[in-house]
Amino acid sequence: MSATLNDYRAETPTWCPGCGDFGVLRAIQRALVDLEIAPHEVLVVSGIGCSGKLSSYIGTYGFHGLHGRTLPVAQAAKLANRNLIVLAVGGDGDGYGIGVGHLVHAIRRNVDITYIVMNNDVYALTVGQSAPTTPRGRITRSAPYGTPEEPVSPLGMALGLGAGFVAQGFAGNVDHLVAIVKAAIRHRGFALVNAFSPCVTFNPEFGYDYLRARLFDVDQDPGYDRHDAMAAMRVLSEKGGLVEGILYEDPAAIPYDEALPQFAKEPLVAQVAPLDDATRQAVLASFGVTS
C-alpha cells in the first residue's frame, strides 16, 4: 500500500508561525507521497539551524548532524546504501557559508542525492546575523550599519561548477515546490534546490509578498530551455537571481555511485556481512545508546 502524508508526520514543529520551513517540509512530504516512496526508503540528513530541525519533523530515517557538515554525511550514506533515497536539507548559512566547501565537491563528485537549501537570507537560529546570502546594505543584528559584503549567488556558483540539476523554489508556492522536489529526486546525480523560505521573525523584509511580487517562473515560459546552462546563467543575471523553477537539468549525467565498478554491481551494504549482535551492541554503546 502506498504511503500517505500521515505516514510522513513526526514531531510537531517548533518553528515560528508563518515560517517558510513549514512549506518546504510539506513540499518534501508531498513529493515523497506522489513518488510512491515509502518512509523506510528515505534518509533525511540535516545541518544545524532552524531549517536543520526538519529531519526531526519528517517520518523517515533522519540524521541531524553538525553545522555545515550535511553533505559529507549524506554522500557517505548514499555510497553505503544506494538503495536509499537520500535528501540533505539545511539553511543558507549551513550550505553556502560554513559548508560551502562541501557543496563544491558534492557538485563535482555527483553522488545521487538531493540537496534542499532553505534560504531565508539570514542566520535565523542564532537570531538574525548576516548570512552569505544577505544583500549588501541590509541591516541585521551583526551589521547595524548595513551588511558590507556582496551576497553569494548559489545557483550561479552551482552552474559554474557544472552541477547537473539546479532549481529554485519558494515556500509560498508549495505546489510548484512539490514538482521541483520530485524532479530533483528523480534526477540521476546531485541535485540542488534552493528554496526561498522566509524567516518572518528575523528577516521580514525578505518575506512572502516581496518574493511573490518578483519571482519569474521559468517553468511557465514555453521558450525556456532547461537543458541550456547558458540560458540559466542569463535568466539568473537578468532577474537578479529572483527566478523560480528548474533552471538546468542534464539528463545524461552519470552519478558517481553508478560510474565506479566497486559500486556498480550492488550497494556496499550488500557486500559486507551484517554485524553480529554483540558487535552491534558495542557500537551502539560507544554512542551512549542501549537497546
Ligand X SMILES: Cc1ncc(C[n+]2csc(CCOP(=O)(O)OP(=O)(O)O)c2C)c(N)n1
Residues that bind ligand X (CB under 6 A): 48-51, 67, 90-94, 118, 120, 122-126, 131
Residue 54 in contact with ligand SF4, rule: CB under 6 A: no
- CA distances to 130, 135, 137, 147, 284 from 143, rounded to whole Å, are 7, 11, 9, 5, 44
Residue 81 in contact with ligand SF4, rule: CB under 6 A: no
Quick one: what does residue 123 bind among ligand SF4, ligand X, none, with the CB cut-off 5 to 8 Å set by partner type? ligand X
Taking the C-alpha atoms of residue 5 and residue 29, their distance in angstroms, rounded to an integer, is: 6
Taking the C-alpha atoms of residue 20 and residue 209, their distance in angstroms, rounded to an integer, is: 12
Nearer to ligand X, 67 or 226 (CB): 67
SS3 content of the chain, % helix, strand, coil (to 5): 40, 20, 40
Residue 50 in contact with ligand SF4, rule: CB under 6 A: yes
Residue 210 in contact with ligand SF4, rule: CB under 6 A: no
Taking the C-alpha atoms of residue 40 and residue 42, their distance in angstroms, rounded to an integer, is: 6
Taking the C-alpha atoms of residue 169 and residue 162, their distance in angstroms, rounded to an integer, is: 20
Residue 117 in contact with ligand SF4, rule: CB under 6 A: no
Residue 38 in contact with ligand SF4, rule: CB under 6 A: no
- Residue 246: all three cell numbers together: 528548474
- CA distances to 1, 10, 55 from 13, rounded to whole Å, are 27, 9, 10
Output the CA torsion 105→110→114→119 (10° steps).
30
Nearer to ligand X, 122 or 181 (CB): 122
* Of the residues 37, 200, 231, 253, which one makes contact with ligand SF4 according to CB under 6 A: 200
Quick one: what does residue 43 bind among ligand SF4, ligand X, none, with the CB cut-off 5 to 8 Å set by partner type? none
CB of 127 to ligand X, least distance (A): 9
Quick one: what does residue 201 bind among ligand SF4, ligand X, none, with the CB cut-off 5 to 8 Å set by partner type? ligand SF4
In sequence order, the 6+-apart residues with CB closer than 8 A to the CB of 45 are: 55, 62, 63, 65, 70, 73, 74, 77, 86, 87, 88, 89
**Nearest CA-CA partner of 159 in 71, 255, 247:** 247
Residue 124 in contact with ligand SF4, rule: CB under 6 A: yes
Nearer to ligand SF4, 19 or 107 (CB): 19
Residue 152 in contact with ligand SF4, rule: CB under 6 A: no
* Of the residues 199, 218, 235, 246, which one makes contact with ligand SF4 according to CB under 6 A: 199
Quick one: what does residue 231 bind among ligand X, ligand SF4, none, with the CB cut-off 5 to 8 Å set by partner type? none
**Size of the residue set binding ligand SF4 (CB under 6 A):** 11
Taking the C-alpha atoms of residue 62 and residue 53, their distance in angstroms, rounded to an integer, is: 10
Nearer to ligand SF4, 68 or 90 (CB): 90
In contact, 113 and 127? CB cutoff 8 Å:
no
Residues of this chain that interact with ligand SF4 (CB under 6 A) are 15-16, 19, 21, 50, 120, 124, 199-202
